[in-house]
Chain A
Amino acid sequence: MAEPMLAVEDLEVRHGAIRAVRGVSLHAAPGELVVILGANGAGKSSTLMAIAGALRPASGRIRLNGRDIAGARPERIVRIGLATVPETRDVFPDLTVRENLTLGSFIRRSDRAGVAEDEARMFALFPRLSERAHQPAGTLSGGEQQMLVIARALMSRPRVLLLDEPSLGLAPVIVDQIFAMVAELKQSGLTILLVEQNAAKALAVADRAYVMRLGQIATEGDAAEIRSATDLGALYLGG
């Protein structure tokens, strides 16, 4: 097997005294779409935030594209090729849509032509954003904000994309759009680590899946296997 694009080994993450992640190991091969499922509080977001460098792991190893990134600063991790769409979305509300995108391309800001090209591509992909290019991002609807945050993440031209519950709280039509987009991004060769509550939809697009419970990996396997072997409802009731 080729070296994974992203490999996490024995990851521990704490919030003060709370051990949110306890010895999690997972990996994603280049171009793979891997989903993490699990109930609220299982430690999915903590895992993602530790990979992105927003939380400092208590212990464990994280390798991105062959480089050790455990405990590295978030600004360095982006440069190695990882972009993050956090659960809280975090558009910069008083910046315009366009300024939000500009920040997405911060690490490539010297490549003006490339950035302009990508911005045009994002606006073509998300016409709603194009119409609102000069509006403060805080005035967008929830769905539009989610599109903006995904577009902003893509502006760094990442190799790995972390998506934390991108469909959370959105209307069904928008949820479908987002899943279609995730599938498309996978087609383009991007490696994706997706956290989702919407297990059925996530497993339909994913290659492999991990199920987290109480900070640990409870089950892992091919998406199809997990889908047939697991009572999806129990994933969430089980806690």
Chain B
Amino acid sequence: MGFGLQFVIDVLSLGGAYALMALGLVIVYGILKLVNFAYGELIMVAGYTMFLLGGSALPWLVMAAVAVAMSMLAGVLTDYVAFRPVRAKSVTAVLITSFAFSTLLQNLALLFISPRPRPVALPEIFSETVTIAGVVTPVRNLITLAASVLLLGLFALLMRKTVLGIAMRAAATHFIMARMLGVPANLIITSAFAISGFLAGVVGLLWIGRIGTVTPGIGLEPLLIAFIATVIGGMRSMSGAVLGGFLFALIDTTLNYTLSQDLLKFRDAFTFTLVILILLWRPEGLIKGPATGQRT
């Protein structure tokens, strides 16, 4: 019983984080049909903002808000630097510029901060534990779970109930038709990058909260997780991204619980095998989403 509860909490809190990561990637993909390879660096930006603000006397929540704002800014900047100038030219060009921008941000961190891990201020509560029905659980996991539920809910509300959200969903299926109804392309794209940065910022705080330090390469794993989750769930739909995130967390956690110490170091190999099997079964991901038009 206790074991089962712990498993469920682990899957849901990890899955929540994975789902947010995936959603941040897919919101841009849905609109532009392009993967933002500099997505992981948005998480890095949140981390280094926390590090740089670490010496200040600001309350933690204020620092966190600034960090998320910086991620959003970096997201919008990605569009202006890496996407907008070459978007109309070719997919390959954008792949290269977004890789280049990712490398540039990492190198800036290497050069001006340090290649070594830097500490990030965390509130006390992140290192506390509570006992629920006999199971000792880190409060951090519960915070992650609560934050994910809250953000997924807010996100759904934004997409369903606001005109901007409806316009973004429309633009994801027929961008040019949405524009012919007066939806400005730049508004949609900038919003997508800002939301992507927001999700990356929040998830970055939670993610970095697990280790307490930030490095220039911190964004690689979240990018990979987001990418795999969206591929499993279906690149074309936001619900697919969320489902993929939770499923990926389920696979990871199950392997963590069942593999012996010897095999655990091969966990990623097992994970990827399962991912490949899922893709062989459903090449387009679990949720297909609407057939989409071409890029714009």
Binding site for B on A (CB under 8 A): 52-54, 73-75, 77-79, 83-84, 86, 90, 92-95, 99, 102-104, 106-107, 109, 138, 152, 156
The minimal Cβ–Cβ distance linking B12 to chain A, given in whole angstroms, is 27
A102-B163, A106-B163, A109-B163 known; A92+B174 contact, CB < 8 A:
yes
Could you mark each residue 285-296 of chain B with 1 if its beta carbon is under 8 Å from any beta carbon of chain A, else 0? 000011000000
Contact of A75 among B166, B169, B185, B289 (CB under 8 A): B185
**Alpha-carbon distance A95/B167, docked complex (angstroms):** 10
Q: Indicate the size class of the contact surface on chain B.
A: 10 to 19
Q: Is the CB of B170 within 8 A of A92?
A: yes
Q: Is the CB of B173 within 8 A of A103?
A: no
Binding site for A on B (CB under 8 A): 163, 166-167, 169-170, 173-174, 176-185, 289-290
User: For the complex, would chain B's binding face be called helix, strand, loop or mixed by DSSP majority?
Assistant: helix
Cβ-closest chain A residue relative to B188: A75
A94-B173, A99-B166, A106-B167 known; A152+B290 contact, CB < 8 A:
no
Instruction: List chain A residues, Cβ under 8 A from B163.
Output: 102-103, 106, 109
Instruction: List chain A residues, Cβ under 8 A from B183.
Output: 75, 103, 106
**Alpha-carbon distance A75/B189, docked complex (angstroms):** 14
Contact of A74 among B166, B167, B180 (CB under 8 A): B180
What 9 pairs across the A-B complex have the smallest Cβ distances? A107-B182, A78-B182, A90-B177, A74-B179, A92-B170, A106-B182, A74-B180, A75-B184, A94-B290
In the complex, 10 of the A-B residue pairs with CB atoms within 8 angstroms, ordered by the A residue number, are A54-B176, A73-B179, A74-B176, A75-B182, A90-B174, A95-B170, A103-B166, A106-B163, A107-B181, A138-B290
Instruction: List chain A residues, Cβ under 8 A from B166.
Output: 95, 99, 102-103
Q: Is the CB of A52 within 8 A of B290?
A: no
CB contacts between A and B, total, < 8 Å? 70
User: Which interface residue of B182, B183, B184 has the most chain A CB atoms within 10 A?
Assistant: B182
Instruction: List chain A residues, Cβ under 8 A from B184.
Output: 73, 75
A73-B185, A102-B163, A106-B163 known; A94+B180 contact, CB < 8 A:
no
Q: Is the CB of A75 within 8 A of B179?
A: yes
**Alpha-carbon distance A75/B167, docked complex (angstroms):** 13
Cβ-closest chain B residue relative to A155: B181
The minimal Cβ–Cβ distance linking A97 to chain B, given in whole angstroms, is 12
Instruction: List chain A residues, Cβ under 8 A from B170.
Output: 92, 95, 99, 103
Instruction: List chain B residues, Cβ under 8 A from A152.
Output: 181
The minimal Cβ–Cβ distance linking A185 to chain B, given in whole angstroms, is 18
The minimal Cβ–Cβ distance linking B136 to chain A, given in whole angstroms, is 44
Q: Is the CB of A52 within 8 A of B180?
A: yes
**Alpha-carbon distance A109/B183, docked complex (angstroms):** 11
**Alpha-carbon distance A45/B183, docked complex (angstroms):** 22
The minimal Cβ–Cβ distance linking A102 to chain B, given in whole angstroms, is 6
Instruction: List chain A residues, Cβ under 8 A from B178.
Output: 92, 103
Instruction: List chain A residues, Cβ under 8 A from B174.
Output: 90, 92
**Alpha-carbon distance A95/B179, docked complex (angstroms):** 16
A92-B169, A93-B290, A94-B173 known; A106+B180 contact, CB < 8 A:
no
**Alpha-carbon distance A223/B169, docked complex (angstroms):** 42
The minimal Cβ–Cβ distance linking B87 to chain A, given in whole angstroms, is 14
**Alpha-carbon distance A132/B184, docked complex (angstroms):** 28
The minimal Cβ–Cβ distance linking A88 to chain B, given in whole angstroms, is 8
**Alpha-carbon distance A79/B180, docked complex (angstroms):** 10
A102-B166, A103-B166, A106-B167 known; A54+B173 contact, CB < 8 A:
no
